[in-house]
Each structure stands twice: as structure tokens, then as C-alpha cells.
Amino acid sequence: MSASLMLKRLFDWKVRGVRWVEIIGVVMVAAMIFSVYIAKAAAARESGRIDELNRDIAENRQRVRLLRAEISRLEQPSRLEALSREAGLAPVDVRRQATENELPDLKPTHAPAPVQAPAPVAASADPAPVPVPTTGEPQ
């Protein structure tokens, strides 16, 4: 048998009245339709994720603008001057500035006591009553 005759028999071979080539073609078209559906669903999921990330980026940009505006407000020289006057602070006088060699003489003789932060209080559903200290004197 020649190759062309074998090929012709393959294309003419029928299964229940339908040529084998037609069955293969229908199966391949169905596979392509399914793969396009899967790709389209994946693209829709990715598009949703991209939209979500773009919203997050826009929100973060807005937060950055607000924070920069807050920094500008807090760093205004007139505001800082007023706060320093209220706290009793003033610029350091030139005559009070120390040189590098004078720094060891300026070292404090005693170390300041460490400040301990109060222990955090755990929230409970039924708060216990707070005891009132008594001094023994009538109020």
C-alpha cells in the first residue's frame, strides 16, 4: 500500500457514520473553546486584582499628600517659635556653645533615673472596682 492510500483510508474511516477526522476536529474545537474560556476567566480575575491595587495606590497617594500637608503645618517656623516660647526655650547663646575639647567637662556627674512606663492594663468584660486610697481622715 502506498502512503497516499493509507492516508486516504485514515480520513475516510468512519465511526458510527461519522468520519474520524470530523470527530477529531470537533474535539479540538471544544478544547480551544474551553481554553479560551479559562484564559478569559483568569484575565478577569487579574483585571479585578489590578483594579484593587490601583485603588490602593490612589488611597496611599492621598494619604501621602495629607501627611505632607500635616508635616508642612507642623514645621511652620512661626508655630515652632510660639511653641518654644511657651515651653521657655530660646536659641543657644554663642558664648554657651562648647568646643569638642570641653565636652567631657560638661558630662553630668550623676546619671538621670530611668523612667519606667506604666504597665498596660488589659481590658476585661467585667471591670473590677478601683480601690480608693484612704488616709484615715474624714472627708
**Is residue 20 a contact partner of residue 10, using CB atoms and an 8 Å limit?**
yes
Beta bridge partners of 19: 14
pLDDT of residue 120: 64
Could you read off the pLDDT of 17-45 as tens digits, one per residue? 778 788 889 999 999 999 999 999 999 99
Q: What are phi and psi of 14, to 5 degrees?
A: -115, 145
Cell of 135: 488616709
pLDDT of residue 127: 54
pLDDT of residue 18: 75
Cell of 125: 468584660
In this model, does residue 139 exceed pLDDT 50?
no
pLDDT of residue 38: 97
Identify which has the larger pLDDT, 137 or 107.
Answer: 107
Which of 6-15, 57-66, 79-88, 112-121 shows the lowest mean pLDDT across its residues?
112-121
Could you read off the pLDDT of 39-93 as tens digits, one per residue? 999 999 999 999 999 999 999 999 999 999 999 999 999 998 899 888 888 777 7
pTM: 0.44
Query: What is the distance between the alpha carbons of residues 79 and 128, in angstroms, rounded to a whole number?
Result: 44
Q: Give 10's contacts (C-beta < 8 A, 6+ positions apart).
A: 20, 21
| Of 21, 25, 26, nearest in space to 9 by CA | 21
Identify which has the larger pLDDT, 119 or 83.
Answer: 83
In this model, does residue 105 exceed pLDDT 50?
yes
Q: Give 13's contacts (C-beta < 8 A, 6+ positions apart).
A: 19, 20
Gyration radius of the chain over CA positions: 41
